[in-house]
Every structure is written in C-alpha cells, then in structure tokens.
Amino acid sequence: MNLTRVRTRVAPSPTGDPHVGTAYVALVNYCFARQHGGEFVLRIEDTDAARSTAESERVILAALHWCGLTWDEGPDVGGPFGPYRQSERSSIYASYAAKLLASGDAFKCFCTPERLEEMRVAQRAAGKPPRYDGQCLTYSAQEIARREAAGEPYVVRLRVPDEGVCVVNDLRRGPIEFEYTSVDMQVLIKSDGMPTYHLANVVDDHLMEITHVFRGEEWVSSAPKHLLLYSYFGWQPPELLHLPLLRNPDKSKLSKRKNPTGILFFRAMGYLPEALVNFLALLADPARDGEDEMLDLPAIVRRFDPQHVPIGGPVFDLAKLDWLNGRYIRERLDPTSFVQRVQEWAVSPERLKRVAQLAAPRIERLSDLGPLLAFLFSGRLALTTQSFESTKLDALSIRQALSLSVAEFDKLAAWNAVEIERVIGRIAAALDKKARDVARPFYVAITGSPTSIPLYDSMQLLGRDLVRERLRNAIDLLGAPSKRELQEWEALLARHEVAV
C-alpha cells in the first residue's frame, strides 16, 4: 500500500437527517488521513436532485462538526479540488461521459421504462438476476442518430464485458470475485443529463486525487462497476476497504425504522460527542487485550489499524454507549465543563428564550416550570397504557394516528411546527376525527401529559429524532401494528389525500 500521500474522503448524500453510519465512515477516513499526515475531504453527493436538500447538507455538516471531526477540504471550507458539491460539477461528468461514448465503453440506451419493466419481469420469471439485456448495444450508428434526431430520450450506460471475472481487492477482505455476467450495465447519465452516483463518484475520486476509500459494505457490489470505469479511463483506482454494516445485538441491520440512528438523536439524549466517537471508533477497531476502552480522538487516530476492522457486522450496543458516556461524564468533566455541557445540551440562551416564551402563559409560579418542562430535559418517557386513557380518541385511532405520523414526519423536508401541525391535521382528516382530539395522544407520547406547552413547538424543539423515538415507544406500548395493518392505514391516508 502506498502511504507517501494519503487523501481520504467522506461523501454523504444530503437526503435526510445525519445518520450515525455517516459519522462512523467519516471517523475512519479522518483517522487514516490524520495518521498519515494526509488530507481528509468532505464531498457532497447530491446528484439525486429530487431528494437532496441544502438543509440536510447543513445539518449533516453541523452534526459531523459536533462529533469533533474537521476536514481540510469541503463545500464549506473550499480547497484546491473544488467545487465539492456534485450538483456544481455536472459539466465535468458530461465531458467524461462523452469520452466513454467516444471510446465505446458506454452507450446510449433508448429503452423505455415500460420495456425495462417487461424485461425485468421476464428475468424474474426465468429466475435470472435483473440486468440490462444489451438491446441498445445492437443498434447501428445510423439507428442511434435517427432516434436522437427524433428526440427520443436516452440514458448513457456502462458497457460491461460479457464474460470474465472482476476482482475487487479489498484491503481487509482480500480479493473478491464478481462474474461480469452478474454486473449490471449501470446507467451513468440519466435522461435529464444528470450523472448517477457511480460516474460522479469515480470521476470525483480521481480528480480529487483520493488514494483510499473506506466506505460501507453496501457499496461492495458497486465496486466492479467502478473498477471498470477506472480501467476505461486508464486511471489508477484508489485502495478500497468496505466497512461492515452496524448491527443490532440480534444481528439484524440497524435501521431507522426500528432503532435510533440519527446523530441528532444521540445529541438530544445527552450523549457527549467524545463518548459517541469513542464508541464508534471501537466498532471499527475494537480494544486490544487489556486496553482501556476510553479513548480520545488523538488516541483513536494513533491506534487505528485498517487490519483490525471487523469483517462481521459489529454490534451497536447501546448499553455500552451508556456505560462509556457515564464514564466520560464522571471522569472527564470538571464542574465547569459539566455546566458548559449542560448549557450546550439544553439551555442555550436561544433555546431557553423560546421555551420561556412558550411556558410563560401557562404558569403562576416559576416553580411550575419543573413539572411542565421536564419532558424537554428527558430522554424516553415513562408512560403506561393508562397515560392515554384521558384522551377522547378510541384505542384503534390512537394507534393509527401515531403509527401513520412516524412515516409522514420522516418525509418532511423541514422540521418545524407548521409542517408538523399540517401532518397531524391530514391524519386527523383521513381518520375523520377532530385535529384537537388527534393531537391529545401526541401530547401524551411527546410530553408525558395530555396538556402542556404548545405541542407542535415542543416537537420542533425536541427534534425529529427524539420525537420519532418517543412515538415509537408509545406505539410499542399500545401495540405495534402488523405490516398488513400499517399498509391498510397508509392506504387509507393515501386515499383520503387523493379525494381532497
């Protein structure tokens, strides 16, 4: 492995809230670059224009900063290889796609979505893996020119050999073989002219002179496509290491649906960033025999060894995070820093001002604040099924409203009181109930009481991740819906939306 020059990167797609997996991948790339005196780059992969938002980018960067990570180049700090946002680099990708077309390593594909769907159905029926069948490769130059002149939309696809094996050399797993017949002729440029992840990622890693790529295991199957692109362009590919996916103690995949996975959740719960980073570092590089597991960032950087990255999915064990966090609070925070942390966590002047405004109309003595606001300074709430009895809504409607809201809240581009209220209003309408009545169980789930300071503002203040967690707890308590029930309820909501 050439270590004379090391450049690594993390390349998040700004399509949602910052995921703890992004911090994990960023940390590993950060450590490797720092350890070798190299550079660590942050690149924003926002080629999916429909799902990418500036707000998500802002929150992801802030969350990584909160973790204590810094980067040498990125959209916020600039650098010699910019721009660092893929949406600002479209002309670059177009010129590289043109090169591939000219060399015959990519081709224009005019197949309609209907034809591709028919092809997939037939492949599925025949028990074959889904793969583009190469129809447009058979067209003559005249045929292609004719279709283009007629204004037929097309995508640009990667040419993949019909036979042979691609060997992906993973730094940790060693050689991994892929039959070319199992590699799809990937779309490189979409019909709107925008690149897909695969083309943009390879072009950027090359142009940004990235030497080592540490990324999630879910990208292993993309590696053959990427290696083909490197070879077509005549470029040296970076070293690759695929990090195992984080898992639950039962070995299932960590998923937002079932687990807290947002960095902001951990912040809202009052975990210290040092503890979270320490915890993530141990997942990528477990403690050696007899080593103290409490490690600060410089120590994490010093000791990181890619050969220690586990191959089996490391368990994201929240009990361990709790234990580490407790140790950080007890062993690393003197009274002054403790106060400072508490302030940062929950009582920043800005937040306190907002809370005070909301609480003032509802109290007679300042001492009323404690019980009224306790929910804002808590993690999970101790609720029982009786907690929901004071609400006017029947048990089924409560389960429906809470369950439907989880997915609807996740879809919101912006997390604020107005949007939150709109979601609850829509659900109430679909259930044919009064919005006020539907809001009650939300009060209970979120604040622990059927009345409190204004609900939607409280939800905004708590943040989407903690709200999701409290809703999920309430739903579990009241009886989580079966898959079928949830589908029915979602259909009910969708039908209602169409009708209005």
DSSP 138-178: G--HHHHHHHHHTT---EEEE---SS-EEEEEETTTEEEEE
Q: Quick one: 42 or 381, whose CB is closer to ligand GLU?
A: 42
Q: How far is the CB of 283 from ligand GLU (least distance, A)?
A: 17
Q: How far is the CB of 455 from ligand GLU (least distance, A)?
A: 34
Over its C-alpha atoms, the chain yields an Rg (Å, rounded) of: 26
Contact, 158 vs 105, CB < 8 A? yes
Q: Could you identify the residue written with the tokens 């660092």?
A: 84
- DSSP class of 13: -
Q: What are the counts of helices (DSSP H) followed by strands (DSSP E) for the chain?
A: 20, 9
Is 256 known to be catalytic?
A: yes
Q: How far is the CB of 201 from ligand GLU (least distance, A)?
A: 5
Contacts of residue 172, defined as CB under 8 A and 6 or more positions apart, other chains included, come to 241, 242, 306, 307, 309, 311
Contact, 14 vs 29, CB < 8 A? no
Q: How far apart are CA 276 and CA 264, in angstroms?
A: 11
Q: How far is the CB of 43 from ligand GLU (least distance, A)?
A: 8
Q: Quick one: 215 or 472, whose CB is closer to ligand GLU?
A: 215
Q: How far is the CB of 21 from ligand GLU (least distance, A)?
A: 8
Q: How far apart are CA 276 and CA 263, in angstroms?
A: 9
Q: How far apart are CA 477 and CA 469, in angstroms?
A: 12
Q: How far apart are CA 184 and CA 433, in angstroms?
A: 49
Q: Quick one: 12 or 481, whose CB is closer to ligand GLU?
A: 12
Q: Quick one: 226 or 440, whose CB is closer to ligand GLU?
A: 226
Q: Quick one: 46 or 469, whose CB is closer to ligand GLU?
A: 46
Contact, 96 vs 204, CB < 8 A? no
Q: How far is the CB of 53 from ligand GLU (least distance, A)?
A: 14
Q: Return the closest-CA partner of residue 472 out of 436, 446, 499, 435.
A: 446
- DSSP class of 136: G
Q: How far is the CB of 202 from ligand GLU (least distance, A)?
A: 9
**Site for ligand GLU, rule CB under 6 A:** 11-13, 45, 197, 201, 215, 219
Q: Quick one: 169 or 181, whose CB is closer to ligand GLU?
A: 169
Count the Cβ atoms, other than its own, within 10 Å of residue 340: 12
Q: Quick one: 197 or 489, whose CB is closer to ligand GLU?
A: 197
Catalytic one among 108, 190, 256, 320?
Answer: 256
Helix spans in 236-368 (H): 263-268, 273-284, 297-303, 318-332, 335-346, 349-359
Q: How far apart are CA 151 and CA 321, in angstroms?
A: 57
Contacts of residue 316, defined as CB under 8 A and 6 or more positions apart, other chains included, come to 20, 246, 247, 248, 254, 259, 283
Q: Quick one: 243 or 393, whose CB is closer to ligand GLU?
A: 243
Contact, 272 vs 328, CB < 8 A? yes
Q: How far is the CB of 36 from ligand GLU (least distance, A)?
A: 19
Q: How far is the CB of 385 from ligand GLU (least distance, A)?
A: 40
Contact, 16 vs 48, CB < 8 A? no
Tell me the one-letter amino acid at 372. Answer: L
Q: Quick one: 201 or 458, whose CB is closer to ligand GLU?
A: 201
Which long-range contacts (C-beta less than 8 Å, at least 24 apart) are formed by 338-347? 341/272, 345/267, 345/270, 346/270, 346/376, 346/377
Catalytic residues: 256
